Amino acid sequence: MTHHVAQKRANTFHLYDMLANVWEWVNDWYGENYYPASPDADPQGPTSGQLRVLRGGSWKDSPSNVRVSGRVRGEPGGWSSYIGFRCVVKMGSQ
């Protein structure tokens, strides 16, 4: 099941719960054959598409699917109890 943020240890970047809570929507469009031809550093994904990318795995997945490189596709606006998004706040900014 899902849990509140910061109930587990932070990673080396001081970020909590980057994996296995819910699949997280990211800004990238999904492209079936994008990654084999993408840049090695910080690939941005296709410029358009029908589906968006979700990353990280969720509480519903087996441990082998819970990984940073885990990537699935979904229809924008899709909904499920194991899909969500991350709100980020830069600490110390006004």
Question: Is pLDDT of 94 > 70?
Answer: no
Range 25-40 burial, b when 16+ CB lie within 10 A, else e: bbebbbbeebeeeeee
Phi, psi of 73 (to 5 degrees): -115, 155
Please give the pLDDT value at position 51. Answer: 96
Please give the pLDDT value at position 93. Answer: 57
Question: Is pLDDT of 4 > 90?
Answer: no
Place of tokens 């997280």: 24
Write down the pTM of the prediction: 0.75
> In this predicted model, what pLDDT tens digit does every residue of 19-71 receive, in sequence order?
878 899 988 999 988 888 888 888 888 999 999 999 988 989 988 888 888 88
Question: Is pLDDT of 17 > 60?
Answer: yes
Of 70, 68, 79, 63, which Cα lies nearest the Cα of 17? Answer: 68
Length of the chain: 94
Separation between Cα atoms, residue 61 and residue 56, nearest integer Å: 10
Handedness of CA 17, 22, 25, 28 (dihedral sign): positive
> In this predicted model, what pLDDT tens digit does every residue of 70-89 receive, in sequence order?
889 999 988 898 998 877 77
